[in-house]
Amino acid sequence: MSLRSAWDAEAERWIRWAREPGLDSYWRFHRRHFLQLLPDPGRLTLDVGGGEGRLGRDLQRRGHHVVQVDASATMAVAAATHDEPTPSLVADAVRLPIRTGAVDLVVAFMSLHDTDDLDRALAEIGRVLAPAGRLCLAVVHPLNSAGHFVPSPDDPDRRFVVEHDYFSDRRYCEEVAAGALDMTFHGIHRSLEAMSRALEAHGFLLEALREVGSDDGARHPGATIPLFLNIRSRLA
């Protein structure tokens, strides 16, 4: 099953999960760190893999003119019919229905590791960006996707064990339950070097890189390793 199909199958559960106040890391800490990377609004901001629209709504409140795309029709409809609607198109990241050079900023928040063909997606993002346009992305940190936390008799918390070859791309899924809600997260593990080389190959210059752990250093497994990787890059 493609990642596109896997996430479309999870769409209804994801909408409930993403909209539950305070549940997801987006609300608890990740949103704040990501928004700090973004440049000022320009003519058009494109949200690639925007899901049910939570980031798009935040961007609109900050003055961005936003259009989002998502490969799942269920997700796109949820974003477009929210009380604060975001213009949404059903489209794959590798075939964006946007005019060449029309976009000042592309955001891809927690979506590019859910993309089967990263190279084609970055090529399309580069096509729609204006000269010197920016791409701001967030993905699962590759250290996080390379292993898992396990109980340790020597540690009252948990220790992290790398269980896969860090340098090899690998498809994964993770089942997570929180209260009455549960989700299966699908993605592709790619090393930091693999992500960097892909950006380089498509003409993106790194401007900022941030490793996001738990909120304000609170004692949490996320303080042991970074949970997420945030990058701001500029089209050369």
The pLDDT > 70 percentage for the chain reads 89
CATH of 3-141+190-235, one of 2.40.280.10, 3.30.70.1450, 2.30.42.10, 3.40.50.150: 3.40.50.150
Task: Give the DSSP letter string of 174-206.
Answer: EEEEETTEEEEEEEEE--HHHHHHHHHHTTEEE
Residue 222 has pLDDT above 50, yes or no: no
131 contact partners, CB below 8 Å, separation of at least 6 = 101, 235
pTM above 0.85, yes or no: yes
* pLDDT value at residue 149: 62
| Residue 218 confidence (pLDDT) | 46
- Indicate whether 157 pLDDT > 60: no
Give domain limits for the chain.
3-141+190-235
Beta-bridge partner residues of 172? 187
Q: How far apart are CA 163 and CA 155, in angstroms?
A: 19
pLDDT at 219 over 70: no
Q: How do residues 21-69 score in pLDDT, each as one tens digit?
A: 889 999 989 999 999 999 999 999 999 999 999 999 999 999 999 999 9
User: Does residue 193 or residue 221 have the better pLDDT?
Assistant: 193
Mean pLDDT within 13-19? 97
Task: For residue 145, give Cα distances in angstroms to 123, 173, 187, 191.
Answer: 24, 10, 9, 9
Instruction: Summarize pLDDT for 102-125 with one digit per residue, the tens.
Output: 999 999 999 999 999 999 999 999
* 152: pLDDT strictly greater than 70: no
Separation CA 190–CA 81 (nearest Å): 34
70 pLDDT more than 80: yes
Closest CA to 202 of 115, 139, 116, 128: 128
